[in-house]
Structure 1
Amino acid sequence: MDIINYELQLSLLLILMLFFSSAHAEQASLSIRKDDLMVKTLTVKQFRQLQSDLTSLTVDNPTDSKVHVYQGILLKTLLTRFFGKDWQQFDALKFSSQDGYQPIIPIANVMAHTGMIAITEKGQQSLSHLPRINGETVNPAPFFLIWENINDAPARTDEWLSWPWQLTDIELTHFAREYPNSAPPATADEKVTQGFLAFRQHCMKCHAINGDGGEMAPELNYPVNVTEYWQPQWLARFIDDPQSVRANSKMIAFYRDVENRAALIETIIAYLKRMKNKKITAAPKAVMETKGSSSD
């Protein structure tokens, strides 16, 4: 009898855990902003209630190399619902995830391809877990940005298209507003300027310069520039293949299919070197907030 009671209690506990987990997921929210001004906040439940906008999209997910049929709302449909056609006048869309990942995608690229904010998969109540490095997995729910890349072959090689999961925010913005502290001096040479554009495209989703950029990975200029403590040849190798320098590094290798890859890495390092003479005088906002929230 004790064994039976234990099994019943365990079953009830599992049912309750699943119930509360599902309820919590339904209350997770997605904020939609314009230049940092809140326009709308949608819970998963409210998102589902936009019945006329819900649709399906079949994609080849680059994370697990499998074909998935996702269900959600097309990105352009969602933007038009809340902004009309005005969203097309902005420079970019900034996406924020729970882990601090913060990619920015030019509006031109959004318009050229078919993206979707997915919340479920066909025949499922939620989203499938996806593999990560070191055998780990991640649940991309509650909101996952995906791109149609089966019929749209260029979407497979468009380096601006990110697939951020666990989304919390979508924001219409302008590049000048996003990166006021990271542009190189006006006197910088062409190589440095090219490096800035490459860094902005490939690296700022995770890294920041003087507080401009993502929060998932280290700030690279304040208070000490990365080229002041990394030798150039090792920095180039780390960008090229992080795990060849640091075991179990979570940083991914620089995009393998980029044209002139080695030369592009050189321009990024030239940009980083130039920025060591353009440091802010106060800690970036993200650094200050992190210190302020520390429990140590």
Structure 2
Amino acid sequence: MKTLLCCCVLWLCLPPLLARAAVLHIDLGHGTKTWTTAQLLARADAATVTIPDDVAFRHRMRYRAVPLRALLPGLRPDQHLQFVAADGFAAEIPADVILNRQGAQAWLAIEDPAHPWPALAEGGKGSGPFYLVWTDPQAAHISPEQWPYQLASIRALSGVDARFPAIVPQADASAEVRQGFTAFKRSCFACHTMNGEGDARLGPDLNIPYSPTEYLRADLLRGFIRNPQSLRHWPEARMQGFPTQQTLSDADLDAVLAYLRYMAKHKTPTP
């Protein structure tokens, strides 16, 4: 009877742990490698890293993590990586940023099912099972959109310009528009599509059917990008905004608006 009771208790405890069990898929173009939580936590290079100002939690956090470079054997500086999250977020990061050895270092943080991370502020959701975090991110100008959590897969792909030509300004576009395009790819394209192109599924398209520059004054749109709640109080909103010069400079913000105004005149018809 005691044995049966113990088995029942163990069975009741297993589902929550199994529900958190996870795998990460990495495809660098020569076959997919699958890592389980247990395999990653057991690696000899797993270490405890401290993040003083974590992007997701907005305070100091400590993680068990593996240097991301170690999970990407053979990665070349000229390659491009896409980090896809379970919620539809798709961060696009050039490989040379990951391979950088002069300052910022990318780490894959791994959530231990026995010691889960705290829930995020919005809706009590979790950031696990895998989370790309950075030490010394300012050394490589890492933006908040380059900290994908709820990570499910990492893929080596062609660059954004080659995959999505309808988002690229034409050759005669101004320098400010091109600067805005670069900032858009870094800060906006992880959540939004443009002209119907892109892999993100978290936010709306920013040109079809209308660009926000077509229905919002520039000052309101600028304020919204800095703080989405400044335009419409909506506690459940998922956009976090770019409140500081470190996350998006005034020059880059103005350039993004110039790019959006430019693209409003270069819409691509959708089926």
Q: TM-score, normalised by structure 1?
A: 0.75
CA distance in 1, matches of 2:138, 2:176: 31
CA distance in 2, matches of 1:179, 1:106: 16
Matched, 1:165 2:149: yes
CA distance in 2, matches of 1:109, 1:48: 24
CA distance in 1, matches of 2:12, 2:268: 47
Matched, 1:139 2:133: no
Matched, 1:125 2:114: yes
CA RMSD, Structure 1 to Structure 2 (Å): 2.9
The 1:263/1:53 distance shift into structure 2, 3 A limit, reads: closer
The 1:213/1:269 distance shift into structure 2, 3 A limit, reads: farther
List per-residue Cα deviations over 1:68-87 (Å, max 9, x = no partner).
Answer: 1x22321000112xxx3xx1
Q: Larger radius of gyration, structure 1 or 2?
A: 1
- Decide whether the 8 Å contact of 1:93 with 1:107 is kept in 2: yes
List per-residue Cα deviations over 1:86-116 (Å, max 9, x = no partner).
Answer: x124343211111111112222221223222
- Decide whether the 8 Å contact of 2:37 with 2:111 is kept in 1: no
Instruction: Give 1 or 2: higher helix fraction.
Output: 1
CA distance in 2, matches of 1:115, 1:60: 15
- Decide whether the 8 Å contact of 2:108 with 2:132 is kept in 1: yes
Unaligned runs of 5+ in 1: 1-8, 284-296
Aligned residue pairs total 256
CA distance in 2, matches of 1:154, 1:44: 29
The 1:127/1:144 distance shift into structure 2, 3 A limit, reads: farther
Instruction: Name the residue aligned to 1:6.
Output: none
Unaligned runs of 5+ in 2: none
- Decide whether the 8 Å contact of 1:119 with 1:143 is kept in 2: yes
Instruction: Name the residue aligned to 2:176.
Output: 191
| Equivalent residue runs for 1:42-57 within 5 Å | 42-48=35-41, 51-57=43-49
| Equivalent residue runs for 1:83-162 within 5 Å | 84=74, 87-112=75-100, 113-120=104-111, 125-133=114-122, 136-149=123-136, 154=139, 158-159=142-143, 162=146
* Letter aligned with residue 194 of structure 1: Q
CA drift at 1:183: 0.8
SS of aligned partner of 1:65: coil
List per-residue Cα deviations over 1:56-75 (Å, max 9, x = no partner).
Answer: 3233242241241x223210
Matched, 1:19 2:3: no
SS of aligned partner of 2:52: strand
CA distance in 2, matches of 1:213, 1:266: 25
Instruction: Name the residue aligned to 1:286.
Output: none
- Decide whether the 8 Å contact of 2:193 with 2:205 is kept in 1: yes
- Decide whether the 8 Å contact of 2:48 with 2:65 is kept in 1: yes
CA distance in 2, matches of 1:242, 1:161: 16
